[in-house]
Amino acid sequence: MIENLFFMDGYGQYVWSAFSFTLVSFLTLFLVVKVQYNREKNKFIAKFGSLNSERSAIAKSQNINKEILSNTSSI
């Protein structure tokens, strides 16, 4: 029974190699995205970690932040 699962009438090597390639690709993609997310999060915390009301008002007055906030307000 277990042998049939692994061999799949001679197609097992193709099926399991495709499965393992896909699994490795997804894990690699997940790890890359996780590392990038943590890096960007640390940059954000370093820049805006102690964001008081004065710095918040300055950030809201910047043009790029106005564009971002205007696009997300309809969500």
pTM above 0.95, yes or no: no
Tens of pLDDT, residue by residue over 17-62, are 999 999 999 999 999 999 999 999 898 888 877 667 777 777 777 7
Residue-range domain boundaries for the chain: 2-72
8 A C-beta contact, residue 22 and residue 28: no
Dist. CA 25–CA 31, nearest whole Å? 10
